[in-house]
Amino acid sequence: MWSEFIWREIDAREKMNQSFNYPGTDDNGDRRFFSILVNAIQFDSITAFDDDMFTRPYTSDKIRSIVNGGLDTVDVPDLENGGIKKKQVTYKPLFSFDSVYTFRIKEQIIFDKEASRLFTRIIGIAPIAKRLVGGRSEPFTLFWLYYPDLRKTFAKIDVYNPKNFSSRMTWEELFESRYFSSYITKSSANNPKNIDLLQIAGNSKLMRLYEGENIKTRIFNFEQDLWQY
């Protein structure tokens, strides 16, 4: 009957989201959320995309260059020949995995007239890194992953629970139960130029939060106004 696309950002530095940046390891390997996404691409054959419409897939070489960085030549001492330095080609990482703590999700809010309620479907997830542009740190999207493809991977990996280690949930349960904190960055409603809320709010992050809360209130009122008492 009705639907709207919403873009949100999850900041792993927030207290409720600290599971996204948990650096510990277990039988499933590194448990940082960005590492889970990278491993899903490398070992579970999940396709990464350049856009949130999932129309331009990345090649494996492109993903390798994004994650590992580019080739670099460094001087290393040759201990077998008296410590004389020699050239060695190695990978120069673009960023540390710990520096990726923001994740963008694209979701579709649907009003199902058969069930007479709103449903929220997560469409995609993208990790956000930062790079220096003109002496300033600017965020940029590394890649997009189609969420339905990720659900099998998420269903196998437990989430770190900082409050109760005996109470475990999977990453799929976390997203389906919406057990995370986020803020709205863009909406498809009344947005013909496809710009985000930060541009609408005049680059004020505080006003962006206010605009996001207005969108949440508008959607809530839309659902309530469909009912008659």
Torsion angle of the four alpha carbons 162, 163, 169, 174, in this order, in degrees rounded to the nearest 10: -70
Distance in angstroms (rounded) separating the CA atoms of residues 58 and 47: 7
Phi, psi of 68 (to 5 degrees): -90, -20
- Quick one: pLDDT at residue 82? 56
**What token pair was written down for 163?**
């409050």
User: From the centroid of its chain, how far is CA 42?
Assistant: 17
In the 8-state DSSP scheme, what is residue 146? E
Here the tokens at position 142 are: 């590394």
Query: Residue 212 corresponds to which tokens in the numbers above?
Result: 């996001």
pLDDT number for residue 71: 58
Mean predicted confidence (pLDDT) in 170-182: 92
61-70: pLDDT as tens digits:
888 777 776 6
User: Model confidence over 115-168: pLDDT tens digits?
Assistant: 888 889 999 999 998 876 677 778 888 999 999 999 999 998 888 876 766 677
Angle separating helix axes 33-43 and 147-154, nearest 10 degrees: 100
pLDDT number for residue 202: 82
The values of phi and psi at residue 70, to 5°, are -110, 170
Sequence-distant contacts of 20-23: CB under 8 A, at least 24 apart:
20/101, 20/103, 20/180, 21/98, 21/101, 22/160, 22/162, 23/98
Average pLDDT rounded to a whole number, residues 82-106: 71
Strands (E), 79-203: 84-92, 102-112, 117-133, 136-141, 144-146, 158-159, 169-170, 183-187
pLDDT, the chain, mean: 83
pLDDT value of position 89:
52
Percentage of the chain exceeding pLDDT 90: 38
